Each structure stands twice: as C-alpha cells, then as structure tokens.
Amino acid sequence: MTSTDTKPDWAMNRRERDAAARAAEGLPPKKRRRWIVWLAILAALAAGAAWFAASGRLAGMQADRAAAAAEATAEAEARAARAAIIQLAPYEVRRIEPATLTETLKITGSLAPVRQLRLTSEVSAQVTNVTARPGDEVFRGQTLVAFDSDTLQNQLDQAQATAQATRVQLDQAQSDYDRTESLVNRGLQAVNTLEKARSALDQLTATLAAQDTQVVSAQRALDRATVTAPFDGVVSDRNVEPGQVVAAGSPLMALVDMSSLEVEATAPVSFAPELAKGQAVDLTVEGFGDRVFEGNVARLAPVAIEGSRMLPVFVSLDNPGGELRGGMFAAGRIVLEAREGGLAIPAGALRQDAEGPHVLVIADAMAQRRAVEIGRSWDGGALLEVESGLAAGDLVVIEPLPELAAGDSIALIAE
C-alpha cells in the first residue's frame, strides 16, 4: 500500500499527486534522479580540494613574507650597527711614523764584570789588618791587607847582615888569592896552593850571590807587606782575617770593577756570517722591567760549543752608576741589520680581501679602507714595511678586529 492510498488528496504534495495520477493511469512511478546528488557531492569535494590548495599557497606566501621580513630586519640591524659608533682602545691603533727598522737576533745570558781579580799573598807572613769587606767600594792604591812588617824587616836586616859578612870574607879571599898567585908565579909556593885559594874564592862568590838573592827577596817581601787595590772596584769576596798566617800564593780577597759588564750569550752558529764586533745590542735585565740598556758585541768565539752548534757571543755594556750586578739574567736583541726612516705596520694590521692587501685608516672619525703595497718584513716578521699606500701620521688599526669594516664610525678612547 502506497502513501497515496492513505492520504486524502488535499493532504498530498505535488510529487505525491503526480505519482497517484500515474498509478491511476496504470503508468509506473518516475525514477529519482540520483545523479544530482552525486554531482553535488563531487562539487563539494572539488571545493574542498580548492580550499586546501589555496591554504597551501597561502602558507607558502606567508613563509616567503616571513623570510623577507627577517632579511629586512637583519639588513636594518646591520645598518644600525654601521650607524653605531665603535670605540677603539689606544692599543688597537697606531700612528705610523718613520722609524728605524731592524732585523734582530734574540740572546740571553748572565751579567759578569769585565774586570775581576783574585788578590793573593806574595809573602809568607802573618796578617795584621784587613780593611775591606764584601760589598765595600775601594779605590786604586787603597790598602786592603797589611802583613807583619816588623818581622819582615827583621828578615831583611838579617839577610843583609849575612850577605855583608860574606862580602867581607870574599874580599879577604880575593886578597889571599892574589898574593898566592904572585908567590906561585915566583916559584915560592906550590901550584896546588893557588888552586885551593881559587876554590875558596869561587865558593864565597857563589855564597854571596845566593845571599844577595835572599836580600832581594826579603826586600820585596817587605815592600809587599801591604796589598793595595790595583783599580777602583768593589770587594766581592774576603778570604783572610787579622792574625792569620798565610803562605805565599794564598787567596786574600776578590775585587771586581762594576763600571763595565759583559753578557756571555750564545747564538746559533748559522748566524755567524751575520754577526760582527761592534753591532748594537738592546738589553733588558731582570728587576728593571722594560728599561733598555745599550751594549755592543765585544767578542765572538772562533769556534762553536762542541755538540750544541751554538756560538759564544760576548756583549759589553757600561754600568757607570753600578746599579747592575753580576749574575743578573739579561735578555737582548743583537741588531743584525737596520734601515733608517722606514714606514712599517704590525703584521696584525694587514687585511686581505678580493681587491688585495689593505689596512683600515681612521680619518674623519671613520674607518677607511686603504690599499697598501707591502715590502719586506722586519723584526722576525713582526713588522711589515709599507712601500706605498700610507703616509707619515696616518692612524692605522693594528689589531685584526674582524667585526670592524670600512665605513664604520669610530671613537677613540682616551688613554
């Protein structure tokens, strides 16, 4: 039973009335057009796909916009950094001026007095006085050690008396010989008598010679009863005390002249052709900070130290005030080669880019690129000679400072 059989005509809609009419005429009911439904579904699917595609394009566009914004922000920050003033410390810049460029050889060694002497006793006697102690300054001719001169005088007097007595005996022996010779010549005495007289004379002559030598030695000992300073200097050691009996050759004290010092250093033997006497040497000494003492090469050893291939080099320096002391450690540089009036920059100041070597010069409160032509290096590569591109008075950035570039605004920090 259909829905039309149960509904009155007034309650039916148009579709139901059409169906009832077809049924009354014996016609089959019309089929529904379901394709419209499928078409609607396909349309909905297409709309969804289009929406998703549009969403993807939108996301890509948004990503592109974000990347562009980030790039713009970075560029803006870079421009802001360029616009900011960069402060440079005094040690990061240097004003280039003509200077003496040098190639040097480093050396080290210890200071020692050029003139030093160990005083020894020239007599065997008792010490009666010692006038100086280590550290005392003494002057040439000043008495340092005195011996018992009374004893030495007695020894001289005794030696002289003995020699005088022998001399009297020798005179008598000479007279005896002359008389005997006359008698022998006249045949009044035997020849052997003359021979005995000759022997006695010779013996006394030899004895007197020995005694005269003793007199000279005793006189020398008395003359050396006092030991004096042979030069102005400082006592560095003392070996005797008053009352001590010493033998000839015993050490008494050591004396050094501190006005001139010497550094015994070594250099690789390969530098021998470049070393010469008289070359200037700049020295720094422990305890004196960065103070520089000037010296020069005084001597060069003729041969290298066996097994080390190192050549001894002796550097002398004046010490008029006596402030330097023997044994102090010194480090220095021997000037092997020098050039006056050259312009040079520290090796760290040189920069490289696609256009070539250059430096940054500070001018008008701004870092400016300046192309340079570099010549030879000096001071073991620490300095580079500038042949063109810079002038005396240019203020150059000497530190690498990778964040600094041409065009940056610069402010110099006062010292």
pLDDT surpasses 80 at 284 = yes
d(CA 50, CA 373): 66
Q: How far apart are CA 278 and CA 294, in angstroms?
A: 12
Residue 3 pLDDT > 50: no
Query: pLDDT tens-digit profile of 122-179?
Result: 999 999 999 999 999 999 999 999 999 999 999 999 999 999 999 999 999 999 889 8
pLDDT band of residue 188 (cuts 50, 70, 90) is: confident
Q: Is the distance from CB of 352 to CB of 305 less than 8 angstroms?
A: no
Same fold? 82-102+342-412, 105-111+256-338: no
Provide the token pair at 318.
Answer: 């004046």
Average pLDDT over the chain reads 87
Where are the chain's structural domains? 1-29, 31-81, 82-102+342-412, 105-111+256-338, 116-238
pLDDT tens per residue across span 361-385? 999 999 999 999 999 999 889 999 9
Q: How far apart are the first and last CA of the chain?
A: 114
What pairing do the DSSP bridges indicate for beta strands 293-300 and 93-95? Answer: unpaired
Give the tens place of pLDDT for each residue, 214-255: 999 999 999 999 999 999 999 999 999 999 999 999 999 999
State how beta strands 373-378 and 85-88 pair: unpaired
pLDDT, position 4:
43
Give the type of residue at 12.
M
**Residue 191: left (phi > 0), alpha (psi -120 to 50), or beta?**
alpha
pLDDT for 60 equals 55
**pLDDT value for 167:** 93
The pair of structure tokens assigned to 236 is 């560095």
**Domain covering 105-111+256-338, topology:** Elongation Factor Tu (Ef-tu); domain 3 (2.40.30)
CB 291 within 8 A of CB 328: no
What is the pLDDT, as a whole number, of residue 204? 92
pLDDT for 211 beyond 80: yes
The CATH fold of domain 82-102+342-412: 2.40.420
If you average pLDDT over residues 48-71, what whole number do you get?
61
Task: Tell how far CA 395 is from the center of its chain.
Answer: 28
* Vertex 341 angle, CA 272 and 89, to 5°: 100
Reading the block at residue 122, the tokens are 């020239």
Q: What share of the chain has pLDDT > 90, as a percent?
A: 69
Q: What is the pLDDT of residues 77-92, one digit of tens each?
A: 655 555 578 999 999 9
Band (pLDDT 50/70/90 cuts) for residue 8 is: low
